[in-house]
């Protein structure tokens, strides 16, 4: 009985020696490779390049120049705000023109604080804070929040592939000094 089991077990061991590595190679071939992320915050060149891109965005907002804002995005760029998503340069330019007409920007700064600047393959992502003062019909309005961006190269220059601006809620109005809890 022991001899009968030795031959099949030996055959199974030989087959396993050839088949298991083949299956393992197939599995590796179907899974995408893991890409390493590189921290660029310590790179003077990288922080300078992306700082310049954000300064151009600040300048375009400060000039209320919708076409200049849109030109900083890729052709199929995405701009995400609390009000919705804008897709493509044309839509980004149109919405900014409308916004600048309604509430001109007095001061915009998206370079306030950058907490991340990381590269993955040929794209770079970043996150930070922004602040803005715009003119409304009732006077200046201050707003601030966080931003995230994905950058890619287009036409030899870094562009926004996606820019997201989230807005911090304004502070609650303070109760009037003449208002008492019983009169509310």
- pTM for this one? 0.73
Tokens describing residue 90: 């044309």
Distance CA(58)–CA(51), nearest Å, equals: 10
Neighbour count for residue 61 (Cβ, 10 Å): 25
Q: Is the model more confident about 86 or about 23? A: 86
Q: Give 83-120 pLDDT, tens digit per residue.
A: 899 999 999 999 999 999 999 999 999 876 788 999 99
Please compute the mean of the pLDDT values over residues 121-149 and round it to a whole number: 91
Instruction: Say if CB 85 and CB 76 are below 8 A apart.
Output: no
Tokens describing residue 88: 């493509």
Tokens describing residue 76: 């199929």
Q: How confident is the model at residue 178 (pLDDT cuts 50, 70, 90)?
A: low
Domain residue spans in the chain? 37-167
Please compute the mean of the pLDDT values over residues 59-69 and round it to a whole number: 97
CATH of domain 37-167: 3.10.450.50
Distance CA(76)–CA(53), nearest Å, equals: 18
Backbone dihedral angles phi then psi of residue 59, each to the nearest 5 degrees: -65, -40
């Amino acid at each position: 009985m022991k001899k009968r089991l030795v031959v099949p077990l030996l055959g199974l061991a030989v087959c396993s020696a050839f088949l298991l590595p083949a299956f393992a190679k197939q599995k590796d071939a179907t899974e995408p490779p893991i890409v390493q992320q590189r921290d660029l915050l310590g790179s003077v060149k990288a922080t300078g390049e992306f700082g310049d891109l954000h300064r151009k965005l600040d300048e375009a907002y400060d000039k209320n120049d919708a076409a200049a804002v849109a030109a900083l995005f890729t052709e199929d760029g995405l701009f995400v705000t609390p009000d919705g998503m804008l897709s493509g340069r044309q839509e980004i330019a149109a919405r900014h023109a409308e916004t600048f007409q309604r509430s001109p920007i007095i001061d915009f700064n998206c370079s306030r604080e950058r907490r991340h600047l990381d590269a993955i393959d040929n794209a770079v992502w970043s996150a930070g804070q922004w602040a803005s003062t715009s003119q409304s019909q009732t006077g200046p309005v201050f707003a601030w929040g966080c931003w995230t961006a994905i950058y890619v190269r287009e036409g030899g220059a870094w562009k926004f592939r996606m820019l997201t601006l989230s807005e911090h809620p304004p502070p609650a109005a303070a109760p009037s000094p003449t208002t008492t809890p019983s009169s509310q």
